Amino acid sequence: MTTAKALTIAGSDSGGGAGIQADLKTFQELKVYGMSVITAITAQNTLGVDGVYPMMLEAIEKQLECIAVDLQPDALKTGMLFNSEIIELVADKMEQYKWKNLVVDPVMIAKGGANLLQQEATESMKRKLLPLATVLTPNIPEAEELTGISIRNMEERKEAAKRLSAMGVNYVIIKGGHGDEKEAVDLLFDGSHFSSLVAERIPTKNTHGTGCTFSAAITAALANGYSINDAFQLGKDFIHQAIKNDLHIGSGHGPTNHWAYQESKR
Which residues are marked as active site?
A: 175, 207, 209-212
Q: What is the DSSP letter of 32?
A: -
Encoded amino acid at 247, one letter:
L
Side-chain-side CA neighbours of residue 62 (13 Å): 5
Instruction: Provide the pairing of β-strand 48-54 with 33-45.
Output: antiparallel
| Spatial CA neighbour of 48 closest among 240, 223, 208 | 208
Query: Quick one: which of 185, 178, 240 has its CA closest to 213?
Result: 240
Residue 170's CB is within 10 A of a number of other CB atoms, namely 16
Q: How far apart are CA 48 and CA 68, in angstroms?
A: 34
Q: How far apart are CA 178 and CA 4, in angstroms?
A: 32
* DSSP state, residue 30: T
Distance from C-alpha of 189 to C-alpha of 195, rounded to nearest angstrom = 7
Alpha-carbon dihedral of residues 187, 188, 189, 194, nearest 10 degrees? -70
